[in-house]
């Protein structure tokens, strides 16, 4: 007879994390919301997945989720990636909350490296999985020094690094994770989202929460907060450009594109956000996108040239 062990039969707490730890994380999130862009240390408890695979975002999600929430998770825009499917299944098992692929229907969205193309509203929370929360790490290796630089708002070395990149390459080469100034005070890493998504952080209706489990840091951008990408007077911030390109599946543009290759080396472009793409194909209507001057310029050019090739 094989003996049974009670520890394997015991039930886990709602949302897996114990209530004391959830309260600690929520307190730290409140501090982060009160100080937009400021990195708040937290306990980063052990989870049944390895650090670096979304533990920070999962900590935040499981600490704020309620029984009536509708949960959605995306991995680089896709609802169907291995990471997204496994974490969706885990959250559903430990909360029994309803899950969805529909961005508009979700109340709590966890994301890795993208902001949904469809605009979020004031009843939604977007949780970011963050691999490296420190925007100054490229210019200062020691944590004690970066904390001091943030405390004194001493960001001269960051500006110098951007200037040096322009002198060497003729452009600011920072792509994903482009640094931003939050509320006129802290320079912040928006996680490795593409430049395309950075303007959507500014004066947003929704709440942005960031969790870096491996580095044990939380930070936030409250609704209606100024978030400005770093730029010079004569070298302006630019988003990714897809001139003359339409999605091969929907026939439209004005969204962040993936470049897909086949075995013969031929490639085609497909809209990165899977839910946004599904709505374009199935409903033949374009969901409400974010409102910013960069996207508006792209849409104006697309409407002025309706016969662009896909």
Greater confidence (264 vs 74) lies with 74
- Which tens digit of pLDDT belongs to each residue from 58-117? 999 999 999 999 999 999 999 999 999 999 999 999 999 999 999 999 999 999 999 999
Q: How far apart are CA 165 and CA 235, in angstroms?
A: 12
pLDDT mean over 289-303? 88
Q: How far apart are CA 136 and CA 160, in angstroms?
A: 12
Indicate whether 310 pLDDT > 70.
no
Residues facing residue 267 across a β-bridge? 261
Q: Which of these three, 228, 249, 281, is where a domain ends? A: 228
Q: Which phi and psi angles does 51 have, rounded to 5°?
A: -60, 140
- Which tens digit of pLDDT belongs to each residue from 252-261? 999 999 999 9
| Cβ atoms within 10 Å, residue 129 | 27
Indicate whether 96 and 212 sit together in one domain: yes
The confidence band for 5, taking pLDDT boundaries of 50, 70 and 90, is very low
Q: Is residue 3 part of a domain?
A: no
Segment holding 205, helix H or strand E: none
pLDDT mean over 207-228? 98
pLDDT mean over 215-220? 98
Percentage of residues in the chain with pLDDT exceeding 70?
95
With tokens 């904390």, the residue in question is 147
User: Which candidate, 124, 128, 147, 125, places its Cα nearest to that of 56?
Assistant: 128
The confidence band for 284, taking pLDDT boundaries of 50, 70 and 90, is confident
Q: Is residue 251 part of a domain?
A: yes
Greater confidence (4 vs 269) lies with 269
- Domain containing 190 equals 19-228
Q: Which of these three, 228, 251, 271, is where a domain ends? A: 228
pLDDT mean over 141-147? 96
Cβ–Cβ under 8 Å, residues 92 and 113: no
Indicate whether 7 pLDDT > 60.
no
Q: How far apart are CA 200 and CA 177, in angstroms?
A: 13
Q: What are the DSSP calls for 22-60, one per residue?
A: HHHHHHHHHHHHHSTTPPEE------SS-TTSSHHHHHH
CATH code, domain carrying 197: 3.40.50.11310
Indicate whether 276 and 224 sit together in one domain: no
Segment holding 126, helix H or strand E: strand 125-129
Q: How far apart are CA 105 and CA 123, in angstroms?
A: 10
| Cα within 13 Å of Cα(207), Cβ side | 16
């Amino acid at each position: 007879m094989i003996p049974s062990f009670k520890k394997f039969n015991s039930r886990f707490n709602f949302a897996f994390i114990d209530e004391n730890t959830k309260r600690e994380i929520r307190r730290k999130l409140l501090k982060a919301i009160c100080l937009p862009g400021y990195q708040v240390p937290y306990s980063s408890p052990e989870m049944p997945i390895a650090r670096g695979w979304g533990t920070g975002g999962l900590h935040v999600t499981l600490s704020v989720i309620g029984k009536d929430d509708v949960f959605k998770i995306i991995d680089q825009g896709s609802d169907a990636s291995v990471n997204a499917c496994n974490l969706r299944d885990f959250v559903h098992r430990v909360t029994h909350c309803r899950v969805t692929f529909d961005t508009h229907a979700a109340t709590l969205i966890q994301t890795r490296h993208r902001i949904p193309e469809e605009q979020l509203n004031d009843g939604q929370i977007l949780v970011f999985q963050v691999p490296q929360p420190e925007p100054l790490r490229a210019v200062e290796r020691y944590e004690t020094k970066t904390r001091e630089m943030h405390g004194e708002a001493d960001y001269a070395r960051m500006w110098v690094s951007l200037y040096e990149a322009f002198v060497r390459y003729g452009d600011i080469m920072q792509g994903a994770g482009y640094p931003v100034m939050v509320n006129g005070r802290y320079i912040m890493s928006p996680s490795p989202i593409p430049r395309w998504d950075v303007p959507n952080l500014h004066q947003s209706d929704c709440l942005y929460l960031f969790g870096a489990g491996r580095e044990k840091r939380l930070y936030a951008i409250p609704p209606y907060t100024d978030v400005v990408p770093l730029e010079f007077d004569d070298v302006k911030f630019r988003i990714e450009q897809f001139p003359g390109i339409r999605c091969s599946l929907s026939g439209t543009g004005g969204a962040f594109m993936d470049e897909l290759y086949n075995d013969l080396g031929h490639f085609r472009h497909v809209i990165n956000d899977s839910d946004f793409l599904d709505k374009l194909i199935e409903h033949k209507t374009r969901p409400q996108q974010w409102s910013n001057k960069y996207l508006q310029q792209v849409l104006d050019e697309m409407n002025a040239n309706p016969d662009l090739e896909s």
